[in-house]
Structure 1
Amino acid sequence: MTGKSFEQRRAELRKRVQSQIDSPNEAIHYSDLTENEENIQQDIVVKPMIDLDYDERSKLRMIAAIAILVGSILGIISGGILLQGNPGDLLNSSLFNEAETVDLTGQVLTDDGVAINNASIELYEDNSNSVIQTVLTNDNGYFQLDNVKPETMTIRVVKDGYSSLERTFIAEDGLMSPFTMKTGNPSIIIQEDFVDSEGGWSLEAAVALSTFLGVMTIITGFVGIQASVETRRASRYRRTQYLAGISLFSRGLIWIGPILILAGMALNSLVKDQYEDYLED
């Protein structure tokens, strides 16, 4: 093959054909034409995006189906473990575990919203007369109680010229609702009950949550099995990928299942030309 460019060879071929037309008595050199055609065909080579034959692509699709299937089955197993788990362990997990102690911050005000300083703040355990902590409010009426057990507690606020205020509450970390004092005799105690009998996580609530998570995990696992079936059928590419995406929420063995499903989805994207709806598009 000479070092001539494609355009040069094509121009020579065109010139030679034209000369044959102009001189019909001169024989046409078919060998030269054939050689030039071969050279042109060698220049026009279209390489496939993925150099795999049909059987190899089918194998990749089967591997994708298996990966999605295994990941989904792991999710179903995880859902079963959740349903059979001990709700008490769930309550003791980091999701529901309460801190050993909390810090409380509050403010004491008058009816008009004016801060009361030097008011005595006494912290009691519920149904006990033993004072745990005693502090005074600052110039802005604020006080802070540190390292308080997250249990039902009572705070008594005492200030000369005002009726005493006693509040029962469940200790939680953060800022408390303001303590509003009324003018009166300190011997008169105004009671406030801030205890929410429905507050906190009960065993029943933990069981309900655990059951819900287990059922949803199993359902999304079965969706993944359907995605695996759709992958084998190679009928609807988008539908298959959507189903596989939903199955990620099955969370088989936390991360192993989702990784397998993602791998299957990636392989699917490489062989999507085998799906019927992709070919139709």
Structure 2
Amino acid sequence: VELWLHDLSIDSATRVAGALMIFIGSLLGAILGVALISADVGEILTGQLDSSDGVADVNGMVNTALEDNTTGGDPVEGVKVSILDSDELEIGHDFTDSGGRFSVEDVPRRASTLLVDHPENVTVRILLIPGDHAQISITLTPGDGLYESDMTGESHLAESVLIGTTIAGLTLLAGIAGMVGGLEAYRGDHYRRTWWLSFFGLWSRGMLFIGPMFILLGMGMTHLARDQFTDHTED
């Protein structure tokens, strides 16, 4: 076995094969990064935004208010949920189903008001931007009066999109670093540079485990052939 490993370590084909595996594994990661950047991150996160015509669905649920922490909290069927524009004109509505759920489809993505005016209950008015919230929970409270809420500043969609884009960018950069590491291994000049670039390439996560597996195998082969690098000296 030692003789076989020695033969592999001095054979340039070992280093070239390792370089190729590092390059392919990192390329898969770079492709993943490009795919993530090219995707509409906002649409992926909300699952409802139609960027082509600037509309979104408003989804949610209507429940009764809790009373003494023992009763209430039940879904309410047949409640009309309306969406009003800035001129207080209705631009869409829906009635809750048996599970209290509602969905007002294709609402323009601009400041709107969600209105729930149900008999013998407090009227609910919520200012929102359609598409900024995956689900809106509404509580029906017995009585008169008006409950108002402003949800236009509560969305974390922008932060989520930024995080997703950052991860996609880092994935692409890691893939590129690994590809450069593969080229360095092929040249056989700088062993430590090859190792570190290949290590960064592991974080590109190409095809989940397939890309990193290729990179690890390639790193193992280049380590075996480390004496072929011009800057490597045995300790």
TM-score by length of 2: 0.57
Aligned-residue CA RMSD in angstroms? Answer: 4.8
Mapped partners of 1:79, 1:173: distance in 2: 29
Aligned match for 2:61, one of 90, 104, 125: 104
Question: Corresponding residue for 2:52?
Answer: none
Question: Corresponding residue for 1:123?
Answer: 80
Range 60-69 or range 95-104, more displaced: 95-104
Is 2:226 the counterpart of 1:265? no
Instruction: For residue 63 of structure 1, report the CA deviation from its aligned partner.
Output: 1.7
Aligned match for 1:192, one of 133, 143, 148: 148
User: Is the 8 Å Cα contact of residues 178 and 201 (structure 2) preserved in structure 1?
Assistant: yes
Instruction: For residue 73 of structure 1, report the CA deviation from its aligned partner.
Output: 4.5
User: Is the 8 Å Cα contact of residues 126 and 168 (structure 1) preserved in structure 2?
Assistant: no
User: Is the 8 Å Cα contact of residues 124 and 155 (structure 1) preserved in structure 2?
Assistant: yes
User: Is the 8 Å Cα contact of residues 79 and 215 (structure 1) preserved in structure 2?
Assistant: yes
Cα 1:149–1:249 shift into 2, 3 Å? same
Mapped partners of 2:3, 2:33: distance in 1: 43
Is 2:17 the counterpart of 1:63? yes
Deviation readout 1:127-169 (Å, 9 max, x if unpaired): 359772488xxxxxxxx503x116774334654xxxx312235
Give runs of ≥4 in structure 1 deviating > 6 Å.
Answer: 253-256, 275-278
User: Is the 8 Å Cα contact of residues 102 and 150 (structure 1) preserved in structure 2?
Assistant: yes
Deviation readout 1:90-126 (Å, 9 max, x if unpaired): 4444x4414989663634146xx46666x99533222
Instruction: For residue 257 of structure 1, report the CA deviation from its aligned partner.
Output: 4.5
User: Is the 8 Å Cα contact of residues 125 and 146 (structure 2) preserved in structure 1?
Assistant: no
Percent of aligned pairs with the same residue? Answer: 21
Unaligned segments of structure 1, at least 5 residues = 1-45, 136-143
Question: Corresponding residue for 1:250?
Answer: 204
Question: Corresponding residue for 1:15?
Answer: none
Instruction: For residue 198 of structure 1, report the CA deviation from its aligned partner.
Output: 5.3
Question: Corresponding residue for 2:116?
Answer: 155
Q: Which has the larger radius of gyration?
A: 1
Q: What is the aligned length?
A: 205
TM-score by length of 1: 0.50
Alignment of 1:18-29 (within 5 A): none
Q: Secondary structure at the match of 1:193?
A: strand
Unaligned segments of structure 2, at least 5 residues = 50-56, 85-89, 106-112
Instruction: For residue 199 of structure 1, report the CA deviation from its aligned partner.
Output: 2.5
Matching residue's letter, 1:55: I
Question: Corresponding residue for 2:181?
Answer: 227
Aligned match for 1:215, one of 140, 165, 169: 169
Matching residue's letter, 1:246: F
Instruction: For residue 192 of structure 1, report the CA deviation from its aligned partner.
Output: 2.4
Cα 1:74–1:133 shift into 2, 3 Å? closer
Instruction: For residue 223 of structure 1, report the CA deviation from its aligned partner.
Output: 1.9
Mapped partners of 2:83, 2:154: distance in 1: 18
User: Is the 8 Å Cα contact of residues 198 and 215 (structure 2) preserved in structure 1?
Assistant: yes
